[in-house]
Amino acid sequence: MEQGFLMQLLFLVLFLQTMKRLFMQILSEFPCKSTTTAMLSYVLNAMGDNLISVVGANVPQFAGGNIIAGKGPNFVLEADEYDKCFLALAPQIAVVTNVNWDHVDTFPNEEAIKNAFREFVHQIRPGGHLILCGDSPGACDLLVEDQQGIVPDIKRLANAQITNQGYYVTTYGISSKNDWHASSITSNLQGGRDYVLHHKGCPVANISLMLTGDHNVLNSLAVIATITTMFDGKRNMHDTINAISHHLAKFEGVSRRFDFIGKVNGCHIYDDYAHHPAELRALLRAARQKFPSQALWVVFQPHTYSRLAAFMEDFITSFTAADHVIVTEIYAARETDNGNFSGRDLATSIIAPSSEYIPKMDDVIDLLETKLQSSGNQDAIVFTVGAGDITTLGPKLLARLQQSSCSQMAV
């Protein structure tokens, strides 16, 4: 594993030194920078672009796992704001989907992370482009003029050069104020989302996604805005939109994002990487869109003590779409336990839905087996959620339920 990582790192460094153009997807944790990066890379590759891509998650549709090893010159990179490492880059196109305060061990407050993002967008190359979610207050705040403290009007700035920085801005979102926006969003037979795509207020195409959740509508809009910017003046816009639409409909997502583990009778088990309150809300809204009437169980493993401490109040209200919540012990990652916070603090603070603290994974499986069997495994949806080792829980629970089901059938 270590050798593979070093080879990947060497690959990344070499191409950072040689690429003519960088295309970058950036955000702070929500909707999902891995999904947006993978979706953009998948569509470009399917359209025949011989790109290089590095995604921060496994992409089942990529032969290279998380890499597309083309010959360039276009390079799609999922960059990370943690430890401000993204400030070493100077992109031609930067996509900012949202800016939420996170990584509290690096950024002491919300303004600190906004300042880092402002510094990053100032590094966009002259004549380059900023693709921005105009529905996101945090992303729009990046356009605040440092000297004057004025937020420029998003509609006026769309596709107009910002003279003091020398790059262009294109906006996207659900709201009609954006250059690219979605309307008439509905669920489709695949469990994904359909919508009408608009450009500058005019409907231009019908888009269908396999992925559920309105956050994935935003992800797809970011991809459309980026690719049409890339090909502006180089090919017919109508043909470009048709090609993007065709390939978006075939994109299956990335690992650990609404990841289906398996089912036993009526019990479906999913796994997701969400570990920030905004991610949790987006995930559970999407789950409710897909499963409006089923009992929704969430097993949440908090990730790092500092994140839970900083966002405790937001976490408390993040589970309202669920029916039952189980909170495990905190996954420490790079931190040490100072004894001030535990998963119990979160579990006992959640007012609704019902919640309980079960620190050990094996005990969680025992409880779920008992609860789900008592309901006959009917119409239950279980999500294992977090950025730590909770990803091992879903397969173990599935195996336990399958074994129990077989035993009952034998009797």
pTM of the model: 0.83
Cβ 118 vs Cβ 139: under 8 Å: no
Residue 155 is predicted with a pLDDT of 45
Residue 352 is predicted with a pLDDT of 85
**Which of 296-327 are b and which e, b meaning 16 or more Cβ less than 10 Å from the residue's Cβ?**
bbbbbbbbbbbbbebbeeebbebbebbebbbb
Q: How far apart are CA 185 and CA 286, in angstroms?
A: 13
Q: How far apart are CA 234 and CA 47, in angstroms?
A: 14
Provide the residue type at 77 as one letter.
L
Q: Which domains are present in the chain?
A: 16-248 (3.40.1190.10), 259-410 (3.90.190.20)
User: In the numeric block, which tokens belong to residue 73?
Assistant: 């010159």
| Sign of the alpha-carbon dihedral angle for 175, 277, 257, 73 | positive
Residues whose CB falls within 8 Å of the CB of residue 165, separated by 6 or more in sequence, listed in order? 121, 122, 124
Q: What is the CA radius of gyration of the chain?
A: 22
Give me the residues of the chain with pLDDT under 70, please: 1-31, 82-83, 101-108, 144-165, 376-378, 407-411
Q: How far is CA 303 from the centre of its chain?
A: 16
- DSSP letters for 127-165: T-EEEEETT-HHHHGGGS-TTT-----HHHHBTSEETTT
CA atoms within 13 A on the CB side of 79: 27
User: In the numeric block, which tokens belong to residue 40?
Assistant: 């953009």
Residue 38 is predicted with a pLDDT of 96
Q: How far apart are CA 361 and CA 391, in angstroms?
A: 11
